[in-house]
Amino acid sequence: MFNSLKKLFNSLKTRVLFSALLMIFILLPIVGLIISNAYEKHMVASLENELSAYSYSILAIIEVDNNRLVMPEQLLENQFNVSQSGLYAVLSSNSILWQQNSTANKPQLTEKLWSSQSLLSPWQPSSFKQPALGESLFYEADIDNNKHFVYSLSVSFGSEAQPLPMTLHIIKQQNDLTLMMAEFHRQLLLGLAGLMLVLLIIQYLWSIWTLKPLENLTNELSDVEQGKIERLSQVYPTELTQVTEQLNLLLNAEQKQRQRYRNALSDLAHSLKTPLAVMQTQKELSVLTQEQLNIINAIIEHQLRKAQSAGQSSWYLGTAVAPIVQKLLNSLTKIYRDKSLNFTVTIAPDANFKGDEADFLEILGNILDNACKAANKEIHLDISQHQDSMTIIIEDDGKGIEPALRESILQRGTRADTYQHGHGIGLAIVRDLVKSYQGTMLIETSEHLKGAKFTLNFPS
């Protein structure tokens, strides 16, 4: 699980998208919470101002006659006149002010002096607060198990000798505010969800556009690796320019170096072969000397072929397999026309050898040539391409290779020219070439054809 997550987060696109998701799903809810709180505070403040305005409109119509409160039957705001409208007004005596001006003839307990027609519930003195004279309070209170906002303002009517202290309570149910906030929250959630979706789409498209040069670089490197192009040619952003330029310099230097190396080897081969050819034409040479000269010539051929292998130095080369196979089969069919061999060939359409064409031709050509020599009638060739490797299987219906010889062929330093007919020095060349590409070669007996079976595996 940990390795899977580690592999997932090795992708730059995953990192960009994950950081965007993190920012979106953390910041947007925080912004939504801030907006919701600000809106709720604004609505509560507006409600406080509204209740304050109602209180002053009621205070303006209060009259006191002989220390008795006189109120009109109907108030200007119609909600105060409608039963259970949700907006109520209550005038109560202020016990605190009574106690401050206490005499034997003045009441000590809070009592209701007046209430609007909209309030039918019994008045509960404990539900309301009593601020100091000239001050107001805005708070929440429970009336009949329902939440209400209450604005309480303490005033005093009458004369100094006979004051009539009282507190006006303007009460409004929270139902309207609750419904309004619920609708606001619903709209806010829908808006934030839509905004998240839009931001995710924008961020995804943005990441694709931002990382497009890296994708182009990957595709170009793949084309270079497969031998389709020799250098990187696209225009890349400033951050990648130095990398692509250095890669092109490396590719050019490697190609030139390999060409110089192979030219030098070719010159060396010619310079060595000429003296050997002259020596071999001498009639006075003994059989032993002639044999040793033949061995020297074979060793030179073997080592030169081995040294000319591109091997790991040609990591960027790619060779299409199908055309080479077709070319080899055409040649082998003509060479071994008398044997009337039957070739059964299966090649994956995307089969691609990650190496030099000459090396692949040498590897496959040697094994197929040996198979043609050893086979009676049938030769099977199967080349399959996997995600991280390419596998070549060559089988024939000949006598096969003895187990002891199989082991010796695969051991480094073993002389290949002592192998049985049909599997000569070419196998030693194949062995070294395969090893230079970090590949493997396995020799077995074919289950179907009963002859030799060669299985080669090359990493992609």
The pLDDT tens digits for 110-158 are: 788 888 888 877 777 677 888 888 899 999 988 777 888 999 999 988 7
Q: What is the CATH number of domain 314-459?
A: 3.30.565.10
pLDDT band of residue 364 (cuts 50, 70, 90) is: very high
DSSP assignment string, 137-190: EEEEEEETTEEEEEEEEEEEEE-SSSEEEEEEEEEEESHHHHHHHHHHHHHHHH
The whole-chain average pLDDT of the chain stands at 81
Question: Is 154 in contact with 131 (CB distance < 8 Å)?
Answer: yes
Question: Is 415 in contact with 433 (CB distance < 8 Å)?
Answer: no
pLDDT band of residue 18 (cuts 50, 70, 90) is: confident
For residue 450, the one-letter residue type is K
The whole-number pLDDT of residue 2 equals 56
Measure Cα distances from 178 to 183, 190, 222 in Å: 9, 18, 63
Give mean pLDDT, residues 378-390.
Answer: 91
Distance CA(333)–CA(341), nearest Å, equals 7
Phi, psi of 89 (to 5 degrees): -135, 135
Spell out the residues 6+ positions from residue 134 whose beta carbon is closer than 8 angstroms to its own.
154, 155
- Other C-beta atoms within 10 Å of 120: how many? 10
pTM of the complete model: 0.50
Question: Is 405 in contact with 420 (CB distance < 8 Å)?
Answer: yes
pLDDT band of residue 356 (cuts 50, 70, 90) is: confident
Spell out the residues 6+ positions from residue 110 whose beta carbon is closer than 8 angstroms to its own.
92, 93, 94, 95, 125, 130
Give mean pLDDT, residues 403-422.
Answer: 58
Question: Is 137 in contact with 129 (CB distance < 8 Å)?
Answer: yes
Give mean pLDDT, residues 359-383.
Answer: 91
- Other C-beta atoms within 10 Å of 4: how many? 8
What pLDDT digit, counting tens, does each position of 20-79 carry?
888 888 888 899 999 999 999 999 999 999 999 999 999 889 888 877 888 888 888 889
Give mean pLDDT, residues 207-211.
Answer: 85
Which helix (H) or strand (E) covers residue 88, if one does? strand 87-93
The whole-number pLDDT of residue 109 equals 58
Range of weakest confidence among 93-107, 258-272, 399-413: 93-107
pLDDT band of residue 99 (cuts 50, 70, 90) is: low
- Other C-beta atoms within 10 Å of 224: how many? 20
Query: Does the pLDDT at position 105 exceed 50?
Result: no
pLDDT band of residue 255 (cuts 50, 70, 90) is: confident
Q: Dihedral (C-alpha) 416, 420, 423, 424: value to the nearest 10 degrees?
A: 40
Give mean pLDDT, residues 443-459.
Answer: 92
The whole-number pLDDT of residue 276 equals 73
Q: Which residue has the higher pLDDT, 410 or 240?
A: 240
What pLDDT digit, counting tens, does each position of 420-429 carry?
444 455 677 7
Spell out the residues 6+ positions from residue 201 whose beta carbon is closer than 8 angstroms to its own.
none
- Other C-beta atoms within 10 Å of 71: how many? 16
Give mean pLDDT, residues 290-298.
Answer: 74
Distance CA(72)–CA(52), nearest Å, equals 20
Which helix (H) or strand (E) covers residue 89, if one does? strand 87-93
Measure Cα distances from 83 to 89, 115, 122, 124, 398 in Å: 12, 12, 13, 18, 111
Give mean pLDDT, residues 2-16.
Answer: 67
Give mean pLDDT, residues 238-260.
Answer: 81
Distance CA(8)–CA(2), nearest Å, equals 10
The whole-number pLDDT of residue 138 equals 94
Spell out the residues 6+ positions from residue 286 whose beta carbon is closer than 8 angstroms to its own.
none
Two tokens, residue 156 = 């005093």
